């Protein structure tokens, strides 16, 4: 979209009035290119800042505006454009609805004395809306949560949503353009919720558990190559290929070792959520304007914040989550991730502490990626996984279950969704499912949170990633005029030194617990002693390994590196004194004339100041490192002028290939918010056998 179009749409939005309401301000921030032929025809604004998304051809745009009013619907009209994908649009309140952090909606019934738990109202294809309306009125205000069991099924598998040949003829292969499924399911939800409203029903929440999708795991590998090629040859594919950044879908099918499957899955997560929004959320909210909604597993996580999933895939999610809330599943499952090296040294393992750390880092990444509020799923406390061959839910039957719930609350959850299934077949053992004591246990944790965090607190104070080799997890939230902390300790850690306003204190787990509370006045400063990893060895880095002359532009924090591939450190190729890189870089087509320079960038966020920062790198052969555009370290590269063809001073070999080179950094180089590390690694000779790069950044974290 050109600047004139941006101004025109911004002006149109700012001038829109309905029922006398007028937005106070407007700002258009396009992500990608805006579609031609669209105009804003109506606006009903709300009492919070809104983020208005509209999507076409798999590209999302964002419109931000401050407004007053009572609703949150934006309508866009197609001004005659043809041959386009179905357009999706809606408004998301950045501030979000009122918080309910100490309540959980539950899958199955709970004991009557669990006052912080309320069961879903299930509805199915055979449910009578008028009867569901009667049940909804029996719920307390704010506690009417409808759960869709199967009314949405078939959304992505409609028999008419098939791939087309280049000539436009239908094939037998299912496509990734679910227009018929959307229309069919939308009609069902429109009818159901219209009848529900007409019967006087009340719906506060709509909860969905839709786990179908178009990921590479769900479509299949090379055995499904016919379907992959059918999608690739579909005339609707070019805009999708532009969004993906590649057009060879067999690279997704044959996913091992590549980045393409991760990008595909991230884009397809948004396609699934767009379909749910159009087919389920929009018709429901049409009749219940204040409705809040989420779908199991629907989140936002941008690539710079990606964390590994339970099997070690550095997955992210693009687009807009279903409804009004992100809904991560926080079951602390660890599968193949247990064998992955995240700290540059040791396999991650399957300890209960590792399970809490993984979920905390995932939710923090989602919170850093988007202001859309959270409604996390948790399982019952004895859940240990789905049996042989499935990932282990490592916190089951351990005190770390409680720790996870406490940290999730401190990270700003708008309540919880509690998976507490009871046996549904006569041959099932009740001991393998949620029992009344499990439900009372979670109810007690929610009561504890009400005591600790009342009145309702503000935003979380700790959103930085926790180092993968950490021994303590610390989360905090400001509550009125005090700051409330929860510290969770790894097994074997019985104390951790800290200072509070300069006075030494010792943090210890409470008796018979693995965690501890700390409360201090707002404005006090807490420092955990000992260096904390701000950027861990094993962090995710963007890289350019195509032998390009990037001049100096790539060093700047504002440089656009979105097209660069991503991988965890260490990065490089060859063997560095027995240590192999986690991400393999390209050296070019000629092994005797390798690319001299490879470029790396890593973005991290600081919400609080840092003291005594120290930067360390492992490099083979030479490197220069920059922080926020300023050179902070040079290793084996002393030339006054360095460009893309500059050789390192000397070849590094043997044990020196894995030496750490360190320097202390001025704290003033860091900024609150987004910081960028950039590094260029140079070979000493074009025929060098290996290249290696790893980095870690430590410091003392100061809160607040």
Superfamily of domain 533-703: Galactose-binding domain-like (2.60.120.260)
pTM for this entry? 0.81
Q: Please classify residue 248 by burial: count the beta carbons closer than 10 Å to its beta carbon, then call 0-12 exposed, 13-18 middle and 19+ buried.
A: middle
The pLDDT score that the predictor gives to residue 254 is 84
The pLDDT score that the predictor gives to residue 32 is 30
| Cα 376 to Cα 687: distance, rounded to the nearest angstrom | 52
Strand partners, 145: 205
| Cα 311 to Cα 333: distance, rounded to the nearest angstrom | 9
Residue 41 CA from chain centroid, whole number: 32
384 and 393 in contact (C-beta within 8 Å)? yes
H or E, element range at 369: helix 352-369
Q: Please classify residue 2 by burial: count the beta carbons closer than 10 Å to its beta carbon, then call 0-12 exposed, 13-18 middle and 19+ buried.
A: exposed
116: three-class secondary structure by DSSP: coil
Tokens 């309702």 correspond to what residue?
A: 456
> Domain ranges in the chain?
3-93, 127-295, 472-529, 533-703
Query: What residues of the chain score a pLDDT lower than 70?
Result: 1-101, 257, 456, 703-704
The pLDDT score that the predictor gives to residue 600 is 97
* End-to-end Cα, the chain, rounded Å: 41
| List of E strands, 261-319 | 292-295, 307-308, 314-315
The pLDDT score that the predictor gives to residue 43 is 31
Whose CA is closest to 196, among 152, 140, 146, 139? 146
| Cα 443 to Cα 441: distance, rounded to the nearest angstrom | 5
283 and 189 in contact (C-beta within 8 Å)? yes
Count CA atoms closer than 13 A to 139's CA, side-chain side: 22
| Cα 52 to Cα 61: distance, rounded to the nearest angstrom | 8
φ, ψ for residue 30, nearest 5 deg: -75, 140
The pLDDT score that the predictor gives to residue 607 is 79
The pLDDT score that the predictor gives to residue 25 is 31
| Cα 539 to Cα 541: distance, rounded to the nearest angstrom | 6
| Cα 226 to Cα 249: distance, rounded to the nearest angstrom | 11
Q: Determine the Cα angle at 246 with ends 592 and 218, to 5°.
A: 115
The pLDDT score that the predictor gives to residue 418 is 98
């Amino acid at each position: 979209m050109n600047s004139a179009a941006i101004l025109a749409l911004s002006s149109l939005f700012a001038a829109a009035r309905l029922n006398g309401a007028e937005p106070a301000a407007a700002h258009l921030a396009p992500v990608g290119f805006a579609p031609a032929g669209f105009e804003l025809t109506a606006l009903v604004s709300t009492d919070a800042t809104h983020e208005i998304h509209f999507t076409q051809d798999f590209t999302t745009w964002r419109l931000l505006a401050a407004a007053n009013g009572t609703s949150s619907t934006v309508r866009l009209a197609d001004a005659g454009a043809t041959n386009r994908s179905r357009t999706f649009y809606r408004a998301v309140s950045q501030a979000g609805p009122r918080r309910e952090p100490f309540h959980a909606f539950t899958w199955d019934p709970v004991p009557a004395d669990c006052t912080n738990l309320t069961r879903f109202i299930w509805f199915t294809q055979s449910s009578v809306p008028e009867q569901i309306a009667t049940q909804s009125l029996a719920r307390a205000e704010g506690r009417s949560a409808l759960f869709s069991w199967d009314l949405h099924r078939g959304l992505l598998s409609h028999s008419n949503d098939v791939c087309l040949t280049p000539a436009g003829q239908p094939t037998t292969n299912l496509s990734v353009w679910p227009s018929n499924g959307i229309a069919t399911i939308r009609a069902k939800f429109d009818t159901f919720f219209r009848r529900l409203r007409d019967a006087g029903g009340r719906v506060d929440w709509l909860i969905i558990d839709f786990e179908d999708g178009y990921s590479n795991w769900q479509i299949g590998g090379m055995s499904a190559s016919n379907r992959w090629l059918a999608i690739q040859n579909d005339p609707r594919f070019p805009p999708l290929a532009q969004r993906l950044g590649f057009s060879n879908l067999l690279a997704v099918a044959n996913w091992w070792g590549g980045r393409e499957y991760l990008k595909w899955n991230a884009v397809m997560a948004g396609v699934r959520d767009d379909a749910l929004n159009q087919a389920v959320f929009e018709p429901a909210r049409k009749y219940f304007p204040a409705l809040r909604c989420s779908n199991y597993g629907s989140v936002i996580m941008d690539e710079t914040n990606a964390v590994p999933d339970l099997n070690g895939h550095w997955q992210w999610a693009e687009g807009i989550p279903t409804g009004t809330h992100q809904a991560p599943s926080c079951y602390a499952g660890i599968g193949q991730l247990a064998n992955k090296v995240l700290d540059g040294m040791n396999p991650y393992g399957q300890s209960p502490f590792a399970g809490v750390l993984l979920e905390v880092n995932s939710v923090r990444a989602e919170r850093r990626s988007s202001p859309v509020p959270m409604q996390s799923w948790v399982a019952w406390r004895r859940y240990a996984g789905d049996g042989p061959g499935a990932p282990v839910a490592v916190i089951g039957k351990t005190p770390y279950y409680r720790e996870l719930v406490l940290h999730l609350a401190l990270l700003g959850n708008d309540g919880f969704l509690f998976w507490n299934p009871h046996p549904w077949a006569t041959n099932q053992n009740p001991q393998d499912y949620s029992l009344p004591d499990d439900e009372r246990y979670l109810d007690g944790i929610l009561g504890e949170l009400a005591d600790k965090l009342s009145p309702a607190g503000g935003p979380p104070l700790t959103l930085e990633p926790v180092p993968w080799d950490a021994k303590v997890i610390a989360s905090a939230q400001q509550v009125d005029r005090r700051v409330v902390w929860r510290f969770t300790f790894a097994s074997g850690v019985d104390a951790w030194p800290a200072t509070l306003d300069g006075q030494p204190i010792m943090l210890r787990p409470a008796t018979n617990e693995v965690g501890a509370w700390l409360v201090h006045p707002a404005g006090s400063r807490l420092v955990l002693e000992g260096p904390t990893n701000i950027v861990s060895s094993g962090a995710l880095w963007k890289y350019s390994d195509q032998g390009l002359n990037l001049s100096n532009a790539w060093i700047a924090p504002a440089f656009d590196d979105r097209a660069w591939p991503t991988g965890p450190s260490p990065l490089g190729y060859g063997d560095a004194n027995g240590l192999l890189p986690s991400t393999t870089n390209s050296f070019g087509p000629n092994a005797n004339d390798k690319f001299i320079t490879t470029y790396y960038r890593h973005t991290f966020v600081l919400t609080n100041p840092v003291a005594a920062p120290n930067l360390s790198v492992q490099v083979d052969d030479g490197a220069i490192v920059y922080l926020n555009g300023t050179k902070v370290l040079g290793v084996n590269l002393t030339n006054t002028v360095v460009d893309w063809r500059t050789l390192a001073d000397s070849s590094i070999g043997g044990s020196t290939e894995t030496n750490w080179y360190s320097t202390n950094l001025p704290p003033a180089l860091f900024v609150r918010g987004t910081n960028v590390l950039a590094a260029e690694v140079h070979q000493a000779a074009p025929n060098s056998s290996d290249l290696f790069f790893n980095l870690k950044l430590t410091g003392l974290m100061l809160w607040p």
